[in-house]
């Protein structure tokens, strides 16, 4: 296989943390190619960089040096995800949740409408990638959520309707 089959490539990746005024080297000059369909197991002693490697592969952290690429593109961690992970690691759970929720709201409130407007302006269709049944469930879920959130108080009936909608979704997933 050549390098075009690589889904992940790490080239000279190192990650250093600062803790209590000391530098801690979690990953040192790692070169790794992971091919599509390949299985990978990461094992080692506590504190030897397994979690750090997974965070780098998942885009939750940036390497101190080197490059991480996914499908030939540089993998760049979003600053909010880095901040949220650091807050969680520092046991600041409320701050971590607030950062993650802010990121989700920014994506839903800004990114998706921007993509829709731009596609409309350049006269390109938007393909959501959902089938007819899934689209109906998506619209029903959004409408139900709007009713629930705008009503001020939720009640048992609204909760039951949400659970029934979820059950219908689960049944339709396994229908095929």
Q: What is the pLDDT of residues 111-132, one digit of tens each?
A: 777 877 888 888 887 776 667 7
Do 14 and 64 contact (CB within 8 A), yes or no? yes
> Which pLDDT belongs to residue 3?
56
- For 70, counting Cβ atoms within 10 Å of its Cβ (0-12 exposed, 13-18 middle, 19+ buried), the class is middle
pLDDT(144) > 80: yes
Q: What span, in angstroms and rounded, lies between the C-alpha atoms of 101 and 124? A: 30
Of 44 and 112, which is predicted with more confidence? Answer: 44
Mean pLDDT value of segment 127-150: 77
- Among residues 63, 58, 64, 65, the alpha carbon closest in space to that of 81 is found at 58
CATH architecture of 3-77: 3-Layer(aba) Sandwich (3.40)
> Which pLDDT belongs to residue 156?
86
Query: Which residue in this structure is represented by tokens 């407007």?
Result: 117
Do 62 and 82 contact (CB within 8 A), yes or no? yes
Delimit the domains of the chain by residue range. 3-77, 78-127, 128-176
Write out pLDDT tens, residues 51-103. 888 888 877 778 889 988 877 777 765 667 667 777 887 888 888 888 777 77
């Amino acid at each position: 296989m050549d390098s075009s089959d690589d889904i992940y490539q790490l080239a000279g990746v190192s990650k250093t943390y600062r803790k209590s005024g000391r530098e801690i080297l979690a990953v040192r000059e790692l070169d790794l190619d992971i091919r599509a369909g390949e299985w990978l197991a990461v094992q080692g002693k506590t504190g030897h960089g397994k979690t750090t490697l997974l965070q780098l592969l998942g885009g939750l952290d940036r390497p101190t040096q080197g490059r991480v690429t996914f499908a030939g593109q540089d993998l760049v961690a979003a600053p909010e995800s880095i901040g949220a992970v650091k807050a969680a690691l520092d046991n600041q759970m409320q701050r971590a949740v607030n950062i993650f929720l802010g990121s989700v709201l920014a994506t839903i409130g800004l990114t998706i409408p921007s993509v829709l407007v731009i596609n409309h302006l350049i006269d390109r269709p938007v393909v959501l990638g959902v089938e007819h049944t899934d689209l109906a469930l998506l619209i029903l879920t959004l409408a139900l959520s709007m009713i629930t959130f705008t009503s001020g108080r939720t009640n048992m009936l609204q909760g039951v309707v949400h659970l029934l909608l979820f059950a219908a979704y689960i049944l339709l997933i396994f229908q095929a």
